[in-house]
Amino acid sequence: MSRLSVRKTYKLYIGGAFPRSESGRSYPVTSPKGEFLANASQASRKDARDAVVAARKAFPGWSGATPYNRGQILYRVAEMLEGRRAQFAEESAPVRQGGKRAALEAVDATVDRLVWYAGWSDKIAAVRGAANPVAGPYFNLSSPEPTGVVAIVAPADPLLGLVSVVAPVIVTGNTCVVVASEPSPLASITLAEVLATSDLPGGVVNVLTGRQAELAPWLASHMDVNGLDLTGVADADLALRCEQAAAENLKRVLRPAQEDWTADPGIGRMTRFLETKTVWHPVGI
């Protein structure tokens, strides 16, 4: 007996749930060759606002969790991704060059990237923190703290690029709102399914699909967003407008850049969204 094919509805990922866009809109996603793949939700600015609310709500719990715990959860995400290796390869094969083999390699690289960042969770403080020598009877300690809610415009690479921008932001305790790649958003929603089943608290990562030019300016000007990663913005004019809007409440901004996602990432993406807290403490007698 033949089966009816079960078509997947790609929705948004906000606060740990998978809602449709508040606007009810969707847009067709096609492969570079022009074949229809699926419909994705086209998020509106209200969805962006809801996502920021969810990210803000998740921030105290996530930033207050121990670094060890955050590392464990990121490692768990890598485990879950490993288990869905074939699905991700199949889903991203039509939208990338090199076919199935290259897609599988990209999934493996993504898992490795997550494991790499997971290991940093309890080490970044040792690298970026300091016991400062001062001329007085005090301990003077500096420690890196997460900056808050970070809005991320994800790069075009549908899986490795996405994880390479999201993992460094959340591993240090930030929460984020991600605008997925506009032409290839499907892997980001499947990744959200992995996140939703990996002990990652709802709201730590929120994924919006839709028009970059429609969503990014609202996130850039939002007064409750503390950081802005413009990596995926290809339009120089849009990037400039976002940077200007971000200045109003002094968001930390990462400018757009062409990056080789297979290269060693370094710690720059983590430290960009950290702020240093220094405390003076009297030495006991």
Partner 1 sequence: MEEEALVGDAVMVSTLTTSLADVAASGATLRAFLHGLPGVDRVGADQRAAMLGTRSIKTTAKAKAIDLAISMVDLTTLEGADTAGKVRAMCIKALRPGSDAPKVAAVCVYPDLVAVAAEAVRGSGVKVASVATAFPSGRSSLEVKVSDTALAVAAGADEIDMVIDRGAFLSGDYMKIFEEIVAVKAACGAAHLKVILETGELSTYDNVRRASWLAMLAGADFIKTSTGKVSPAATLPVTLIMLEAVRDFRDATGRQVGVKPAGGIRTTKDAIKNLVLVNETAGDDWLTPEWFRLGASSLLNDLLMQRQKLATGRYAGPDYFTLD
Give 17's Cβ-side CA count (13 Å radius): 8
Burial of 109 (0-12, 13-18, 19+ CB in 10 A): middle
Binding pattern to partner 1, positions 43-72, x when CB under 8 A?
Answer: ------x--x---x----------------
Give 102's Cβ-side CA count (13 Å radius): 11
Q: Is 218 in the site for partner 1 (CB under 8 A)?
A: yes
Please report how close the Cβ of residue 223 comes to partner 1 at its closest, in angstroms. Answer: 3
Residue closer to partner 1, measured from CB, 6 or 223: 223
State the pairing for strand pair 138-146/274-282. Answer: antiparallel
Which residue type does 94 have? P
Question: Which residues lie below 8 Å from residue 196, measured CB to CB, with a gap of 6+?
Answer: 13, 16, 18, 202
Q: Is 90 in the site for partner 1 (CB under 8 A)?
A: no
Please report how close the Cβ of residue 271 comes to partner 1 at its closest, in angstroms. Answer: 23
Please report how close the Cβ of residue 49 comes to partner 1 at its closest, in angstroms. Answer: 6
Q: Is 225 in the site for partner 1 (CB under 8 A)?
A: yes
Judged by CB under 8 A, which stretch of 121-129, 139-147, 196-204, 222-230 contacts partner 1? 222-230
Q: How many residues are given for the chain?
A: 285
CA gap 211, 233 in Å, rounded: 11
Q: Is 166 in the site for partner 1 (CB under 8 A)?
A: no
Q: Is 199 in the site for partner 1 (CB under 8 A)?
A: no
Please report how close the Cβ of residue 221 comes to partner 1 at its closest, in angstroms. Answer: 4
Rule CB under 8 A: choose which of 92, 174, 188, 221 binds partner 1.
Answer: 221
Please report how close the Cβ of residue 14 comes to partner 1 at its closest, in angstroms. Answer: 15
Q: Which helix (H) or strand (E) holds 140?
A: strand 138-146
Residue closer to partner 1, measured from CB, 1 or 223: 223
Please report how close the Cβ of residue 244 comes to partner 1 at its closest, in angstroms. Answer: 12
Residue closer to partner 1, measured from CB, 52 or 200: 52
Residue closer to partner 1, measured from CB, 21 or 110: 21
Dihedral of alpha carbons 32, 36, 39, 44, sign:
positive
Question: Which residues lie below 8 Å from residue 125, measured CB to CB, with a gap of 6+?
Answer: 67, 143, 144
Q: Is 223 in the site for partner 1 (CB under 8 A)?
A: yes
How many Cβ atoms from other residues are within 10 Å of residue 46's Cβ? 12
Burial of 157 (0-12, 13-18, 19+ CB in 10 A): buried
Residue closer to partner 1, measured from CB, 90 or 224: 224
Q: Is 222 in the site for partner 1 (CB under 8 A)?
A: yes
Residue closer to partner 1, measured from CB, 167 or 242: 242
User: For binding to partner 1 (CB under 8 A), which residues are involved?
Assistant: 49, 52, 56, 218, 221-225, 245, 248-249
